[in-house]
Amino acid sequence: MKAREMRRKGESVTEIAKKLGVSSSTTSLWCRDIKLSQKQIKELERHSRDPNYGMRLANALAQQKVRKDKTYKLHQEGKVEVGKLSKRELFIAGVALYWGEGFKKDSQAGLASMDAGIIHFFIRWLKVCFGYKNEDLIFRLTLNISHKPRVGEVQEYWSKLLGIPTAYFQKPFFQVTTWKKVYENPGNYHGVLRIKVRKSTDFLRKIDGFLDGLRTNAR
C-alpha cells in the first residue's frame, strides 16, 4: 500500500524500491496498474537525465535525519534539565503561569485554557501548594456555537482527561461567532476549559502579592 501511494505521487519504481527495501521487480509488480499523469512522466524523465538527482535526494534525506536526531536530543536534554519539581519550584512555576494566564480582574481565582497540559499543571499547583480539592473547584466549558451538538462528548473528554466527574461542570458557555474557516479535523477541537476556585477572594488577593514578588525579582 505504501509503494502504491508513493507511485501515485509520481515517484519512480527504482526510488520506491530503495526506500522500502524491496526489489524493483516487486515494486513494479505492485504498481503495474497505476497510470502516471503526463506531468509526472515528464518529471521522472527529467530526473533520469540528472546524474545528481539520486545523490541530492539521498543527501536531503540524510540531512533530514540529522535535524530530526538533533531535535530529539535537544528535547530530551531540556526535559532532563527541568527534572522533577520540588514543592517550592512548583509554587514558583505556578505563580509564573498565573501571571501569564490567570484571572486578575475577577472576584475568584482561576484560569482558562484549551491546553490540557496547562490545565493539569494549574490543578496540581492548587492541590499541592494550597490544599484545594476537586470539590473546591468550578469547571466551565466554552465552545463555539457550531460545536453545540458535541458538548456532551467534549465534556466527557475533559472529564476523563482530568479525572473530574461531569457533575462538577457548570452549564457550558457558547460563543456565537460563526467560523468562516472549515477545519480538517473538527473532532480535535475541545473548546476552552475555565477553572475557578470557590470562595477565593482572599486567595486572589494573596496571588496578587505572589505576582508582585515576581515583578520585584524581574528588576
Strands 173-175 and 110-113: unpaired
Q: What is the mean pLDDT of residues 69-83?
A: 95
Query: Has residue 204 got a pLDDT over 90?
Result: yes
C-alpha cell, 50: 540528472
Q: What is the pLDDT of residues 78-134, one digit of tens each?
A: 999 999 999 999 999 999 999 999 999 888 999 999 999 999 999 999 999 999 999
In Å, how far from its chain's centre is CA 10?
A: 32
Q: What CA–CA distance (Å, rounded) separates 127 from 35?
A: 62
Counting residues of the chain whose pLDDT is more than 70, the rounded percentage is 93
Q: Is the pLDDT of residue 166 over 90?
A: no
Tell me the C-alpha distance between 109 and 210, whole Å: 13
Q: C-alpha grid cell for residue 16?
A: 520506491
**Angle between helix 87-101 and 201-217 (nearest 10):** 100
What's residue 36's pLDDT?
87
Domains of the chain, residue spans = 2-81, 87-217
